[in-house]
Homo-oligomer: A and B are copies of this chain.
Amino acid sequence: MSIPDKEITIYDIAKALNISAATVSRALMDHPSVNINTKAKVQEAAKSMGYRSNQMASNLRKRKSNIIGIIVGNLNSSFMSNVIAGAEKVLSEAGYNLIISQSLDNVSKEINIAQAMYNNRVDGLLVSLAYETENADHFESFVKRGIPLVYFDRVWPHPKCPGIEIDNVKAAYDITEHLITQGCKRIAHITAFKISSVAADRFTGYKKALEDYNIPFNESLVIKTDLTMNAGIDAAHQIMNMEERPDAVFVTNDACAVGCMQETKKFGIRIPQDIAFAGFNNDTEASIIEPNLTTVNYRGDIMGEEAARILIDRINNASAAAQPAKKIMQKSEIIIRDSSVKRK
């Protein structure tokens, strides 16, 4: 088959059907003045000839791209896959297409992606920050241009950008309290090297629970990592080398917790009897590792839908966009599994 060397236009369709271009144009817009049979013929011809409504030109006139960008740290988690499915559902119903990009939790990659999204003139942006991101200056160009931006999960506080997150302080407090009520007194905490707001909030919740139960905070029980599964293996070695080992470990995400559990088990450590474990996110891995991992669960699909709805509202509604941005708290729940239950 020969490759058509030019875009099919309404003039080509008009010529093929021997009718006027104006009639073709009206038929394609489903105008009431055009006979129903003619409409059917035009639509049939448009399809078979490979006509595309000139969306780019039309968008240029409207100054709209109908494209929404979403930037996430890493696509590889059931949570993030659910967020994207939720956002996509709401956005496609509203006629938007989604460009997805992953920063691989690297801040310089995140800066490049933000620039590319800006140049592609997205109509709005959904962002969950990379773990190592310490400021949001690279998103200021969107704010300046009045392009709505909504943060989710790993958010940045900004008067113009709403954020949806869970109460990380409370969830971390609750899970630490659960470990304390299981009789744990030396609770280690694995957190990020560069502490993002999410990791900082979880760290705060952990310390607050210790304080409320009169357990002195011990800096030597805090391990800083890049939170990958491999980092969990290294953390396990640090724990094994401690003079006095912890009786519980609260890890700020599941992937790192699972890596750490697998490695401590190789040293003959019994979970939860010797060391109890708790993670965060309820990733698939948490219910595969043995014993299953106690964790914090929150719904990605709901977070994605809600973020998309807020974004569309700010795009379409100037008065909504002019309101000071609110922080939205989504519900989360602790799921207690065998990795932490010392007292049955």
A residues near B (Cβ < 8 Å) are 1, 3-4, 7, 50, 52-53, 55-57, 59-60, 63, 65, 67, 74-78, 80-81, 84-85, 88, 92, 97-102, 104, 112, 116, 118-121, 141, 143-146, 229, 258, 262, 284-285, 288-290
* Contact indicator B98/A101 (Cβ below 8 Å): yes
Complex copy number for this chain: 2
* Closest Cβ–Cβ distance, residue A190 to chain B (whole Å): 18
* Contact indicator A55/B120 (Cβ below 8 Å): yes
Chain B residues lying within 8 Å of A53, measured Cβ to Cβ, are 119
* Contact indicator B97/A120 (Cβ below 8 Å): yes
* Closest Cβ–Cβ distance, residue A109 to chain B (whole Å): 9
- Given A60-B57, A76-B76, A289-B288, check contact A100 B99 (CB 8 Å): yes
* Closest Cβ–Cβ distance, residue A323 to chain B (whole Å): 13
**Shortest 10 CB-CB contacts between residues of A and residues of B:** A3-B146, A76-B81, A100-B100, A75-B75, A288-B288, A99-B99, A75-B81, A290-B290, A50-B144, A76-B78
* Contact indicator B60/A56 (Cβ below 8 Å): yes
* Closest Cβ–Cβ distance, residue A74 to chain B (whole Å): 7
Nearest B-chain residue to A48, judged by Cβ: B144
* Contact indicator A288/B258 (Cβ below 8 Å): yes
4 further contact pairs, Cβ within 8 A, besides A88-B101, A99-B99: A1-B144, A55-B119, A56-B65, A85-B102
* Closest Cβ–Cβ distance, residue A110 to chain B (whole Å): 13
